[in-house]
Structures are given as structure tokens and as C-alpha cells.
Structure 1
Amino acid sequence: MASSLTVPQAIQELKIAQARGHRDSNEIVRKGLFVLEQKNGLKMLGEDVWDFLEQMAVAALDIGQLELADDCIQRLAEQFPKSPRVEVLQGQRIEAKDLDMAIKYYETLLDADETNVAAWKRLISVLRQQNKMDRCISELTEFLDTFYSDLEGWLELADIYASVNLYTRSLQALSHALLLAPQNPFHTLHFAETAYTANDIPLAIRYFLRTTELCGDDSRGVARRAWFGVRLCTKHLTLHPDSPSESATKPMSTSSLNALGELATERLLAAYSSTSEKAVVPGRKEVLKLLGGSGTSR
């Protein structure tokens, strides 16, 4: 730890990492140990000491510093006996030792309180780690029947279905995610790419286009991938106008496909030809060649 770092600075950086959901566990443990090693370090945290110990416990478990995790969890358990959050931390500690034992532990917690969301999610996570996919899907489906608005749960279910090549079911799960977060272009792009993988090209192109609408004038990142998806779809549908659609999405006219193909090519050429992006866009030359553009900037 740099000697120039002060305890207040370390505490502030840890708070920022926690607020933003950053999971750089090595860095969290380094800064946390720095605070712990200083005289009155914990006292300087005030009422934030418990959040600090929880953050440290999770990070220590991530990188295998089990003694440090045990110390943090023990302090929390002494302060908050029977706390559901602490009980789940204790479960994560058991996971580091024995996954089967962790499953039994989470089942015990859920027998005592069937609304224990954190324990239910950890149970689902462990089942997936052990590749017990049937029960994992069953538990997650039941969880979502109870807590419909859990966006992360629907995304997890979509990912699980996709991992076993059940793309239609993955799309069904993603459709719920879109209902919960209709303005999020990442989820719309995810839906479009899954539809493309499922070979429902008419459905995919409509959601690629929806993604470009949500991104506005942004020509980078998500929008670029969406326009590339539009380009692939228009090419496919032009060559195979009778492509089947399991979702029964109506096909576009040839004139619409041609216009969209030209627009997608134009947007991609503009994005990949931008002088300001030359150094940061991976595969720039290859994409320009594929699109029929030159490797030089305009």
C-alpha cells in the first residue's frame, strides 16, 4: 500500500467502490487491511464499520483469504445475531469449503423463512455451479413467480437457457426483462442477438433496430453492434426471403431491407472510419473491408 495513502482516503475509495458495485477484490482487501492495521482505523469508520466489514468479508472470500473472512464474519455475527445478511455471508463461507453442505445450509434458511431472497439466490447460484441445471431452473422459475420484478433473475434465467441451447425459452425470459426495463439498450441488444442465434432473423432485425432507436445518435458501443446486427440480418433476409420466424414476425419488404442495409452500412462506415476512433476500435480494417469501405479515414 502506497505510504501516501491516508486512512480517510482509503475509506472513501472503499465507499465509492461499494456504491458503484465494483468488485476488485484484491484492491478492496489491500485497502481494507491498510485501514485495519492503522491505530483507530475501525473507529474512524464510525457507523460505516459494519458495511466495511461486510465488504471486506465478501472480497476476502473472493480471493481465498478465509481467515480474514472468518474474522469479519465473526464480528458481524456478534453484532447482528440472526441477521439474514450475516447468515448468507456464513453460507458463502461454507461454499468455500463444501458446496453440498452449502445447499443444505441455504435450504435450512429457506425452511425458516421462505422469503429470504438472498439465501434463495445463493442456493440457485450453487446449484448452477454444480451443474444441477434441472433443479436450478426449477428454483429460479419458482423464485421469479414469487419475485417477478427481480430483473437480475430474469437475465440469469435467460443465460441459463441459452447455455443449454434453449434459445426460445431464453427469449421468453428476456421478454420479461424488457418489460421491466424497456428503455435499456443492453437488454434489447441481448434479445436481438439471442433471436439471431435462434435463427429467427425477422424478429432479430426488429430488435436490432429498436436498439439503435434507444441509443440515439451514439455511434459507438451498443449502437455499433446493433447496426452490425441490422447489416447481417438484411443480408440474410435478402438471400433467404422466406426465412422462418418461430415468433411469427412479419417479413419486411425487399425495398425496406435494401434501404436498411444501405443505412446500416453507412452508419458502420461512419463509425469505423472516424479518425478519433482509429486507435480504439478493434478490428477496424477488417470491418471496413467487409463493408466495402477503405481502410483510410474520410
Structure 2
Amino acid sequence: MVTKLDEAELKRLESQVEHGGGGAWEYLTLVRKLKIRRSDKVLKHGLSILNDSKKRSTLADEEWTLYEQVAIAAMDCNSIEIAEDCISVLSKKFPESKRVGRLDAMLLEAKGSFEEAEIAYSSLLEDNQLDQVVHKRRVAMAKAQGDLHKAVGCLSRYLKLYMADNDAWRELAELYISLQMYKQAAFCYEELILAQPSVSLYHLAYADVLYTLGGLENLQTARKYYASTIDLSGGKNTRALYGVCLCTAAINQLAKGRNKEDKESVDLQSLAAAVLEKDYKYRAPSKLPLLTTTLKNLKL
């Protein structure tokens, strides 16, 4: 996780390097450590070091790490020739390296040679089924080709090996939603909520999926998760407040009257509507009449 201190240091170094104050290697090292993408700047400042023999010689073995970093940045920036040059240097230094083989496969992908890249990635996985980067590259490549079903398959196989990867679960949920496979998306969000119960956005996304699925039981559960989103966000999530109102209206239509549980939720519904009206009165007073009419039509 990138902290505020990390962000401040990154911004400081970035400004320093951009204005000719030195520290290019320190900047590149921090970008790599934080695992963030600054491809255009990495390419620019990485090449400035690689093209200067004196600077390059001071890196010792870290020189090869920089070649790899620049190669990946070059592919991101579609600077294919630069990527080829960097990978060529690495191939000569490490002729049997699987890590360099991975770069070769990524280069094929960057060139749009997806079939060849798929063969290369499959070969790498035969040697090491636990290669996280290769699994993720296959997912990215399938998405780039618009084959979301294949992306789902690749990501599902990855999650069988790395079930604790919350970012992967979230990506899989989003893929399922794109394919309108809402039950499968709901399962993904259930996994995320179990892993990180205090993250309000997971509660909100799960509630949205359940509301989309519809049906009395799903709507009742969706309302609970909209409520938990409101609680976790300190009552400031407008979408969750709307969600409570919408779920209540839909439940009333399906249940044809309030049961005991609904009566116990009257305070929550009234509070959600009141908070929405207060928020609109402060932030968007011109839209307040529209909100009031909408809530009235929902019979809240």
C-alpha cells in the first residue's frame, strides 16, 4: 500500500529529477519499490542513466534491474525498439533466464502477436505454475483482445492458487458484472467482505449486485449492506443512501405491506431520506426539488 509519506517522497523526487536536480536512480528505485506505473518518466530517466556509461557503471548488478524496468516502461509507451534493445542486452547476459523469457513474451504481446505470446506464456507456466506475473499477463492479454470469458477463466485459475489476492477478486467481480453474471460477481464480493470487512466499497458493490439481481431476499440483504456502507462511511455515501430508499420501495412492492422487519427499518429509511435532502440542500440546492419528487414517488 502506498502511504501518504511515500506519495510525498515520490512527488518530491519526481519534481527534483524533472527540474534537473539529480536523484534519477533514487526516483526509479522508489517507483519500483512502490510498484506503481510512471512509464513515461521511467523511460526518460532510465534511458538517461543507461546511455551514460559512467552513471551505469555505478549501479553494479542493479544495472540489469534497470534494463528490465526500462524495457517494461518502453513497452507501456509503445517504444518497441527500445524494449527490444533492453531485452536483447538481458538475453545475452542471462541466456537461460525465465525472467527474461517473460519479457520476451510481453514483447510479443506489446507487438500484438497474441497467439505467439499465448504460446510463450503457456510454456512458462509449464515450467512454473506459480508464476503470478504470467498468470496476470494472460488475463490482461485476454482483456486486451476483448475476450472476457477467457479472462474470467484465466483469473479463476489464478485465484485457485492465490486466494488471498483481493485485487484479483475485485477484478474478477468486475469482469462478471461486464458479462452480466451477477450471481458470480456476488460471490466475489462475499469473498472480499470476508477478507476485508471494514472496506465500505465492497459492501456497496455487493449491495448493488444484489439489488440488480432483485427478488425479495436479495433486496432485503442489499438494504442491509447499503446500511453497513452508510455506517462504515460515516453516513456520507450518497449512493448507499439512495440504495436504502430504492430497496425499501422495491421491498414494499414485492411484500405488499410492511412485515415486522420492515417496521424496524422505518427509522433507517426516514433517516436516509432526510440525510439526502440535507446534503442536496447544501451541495446542489437547484436539484433539491427533483430529489424531493423522486423520494415522494418512492412513497417514502
> Is 2:228 aligned against 1:210?
yes
Query: What is the 5 A alignment of 1:23-34?
Result: 23-34=37-48
Q: Is the Cα contact below 8 Å between 1:162 and 1:170 reproduced in 2?
A: yes
The corresponding residue for 1:120 is: 135
CA RMSD of aligned residues (A): 3.2
Letter in 2 for 1:27: K
TM-score, length of structure 1 as denominator length: 0.76
CA distance in 2, matches of 1:267, 1:54: 52
> Is 2:275 aligned against 1:267?
yes
Letter in 1 for 2:83: A
Alignment match of 1:96 (pick from 100, 106, 110): 110
CA distance in 2, matches of 1:242, 1:40: 80
Alignment match of 2:81 (pick from 64, 67, 71): 67
CA distance in 2, matches of 1:212, 1:218: 5
CA distance in 2, matches of 1:3, 1:138: 42
Report how far residue 87 of structure 1 moved: 2.7
Report how far residue 82 of structure 1 moved: 4.2
Alignment match of 1:228 (pick from 228, 242, 251): 242
SS at match of 1:232: helix
Report how far residue 48 of structure 1 moved: 4.9
Q: Is the Cα contact below 8 Å between 1:94 and 1:101 reproduced in 2?
A: yes
Change (3 A) 1:111 1:62: same
The corresponding residue for 2:21 is: 6
> Is 2:245 aligned against 1:237?
no
The corresponding residue for 1:87 is: 101
TM-score, length of structure 2 as denominator length: 0.75
User: How many percent identity over aligned positions?
Assistant: 26
The corresponding residue for 1:248 is: none
Q: Is the Cα contact below 8 Å between 1:76 and 1:86 reproduced in 2?
A: yes
The structure whose residues are more often helix, as a share, is 2
Change (3 A) 1:291 1:140: same
The superposition leaves residues 144-188 of structure 1 with CA deviations (integer Å, 9 ceiling, x where unpaired) of 223222223222222222111110111112222222222222222
The corresponding residue for 1:105 is: 120
Q: Is the Cα contact below 8 Å between 2:207 and 2:225 reproduced in 1?
A: yes
SS at match of 1:23: coil
> Is 2:36 aligned against 1:22?
yes
CA distance in 1, matches of 2:64, 2:260: 58
Q: Structure 2: where are the runs of 5+ without partners?
A: 1-14, 294-300
Aligned residues: 273
CA distance in 2, matches of 1:29, 1:254: 59
The corresponding residue for 1:168 is: 183
Q: Structure 1: where are the runs of 5+ without partners?
A: 244-250, 279-283, 294-298
Letter in 1 for 2:268: L
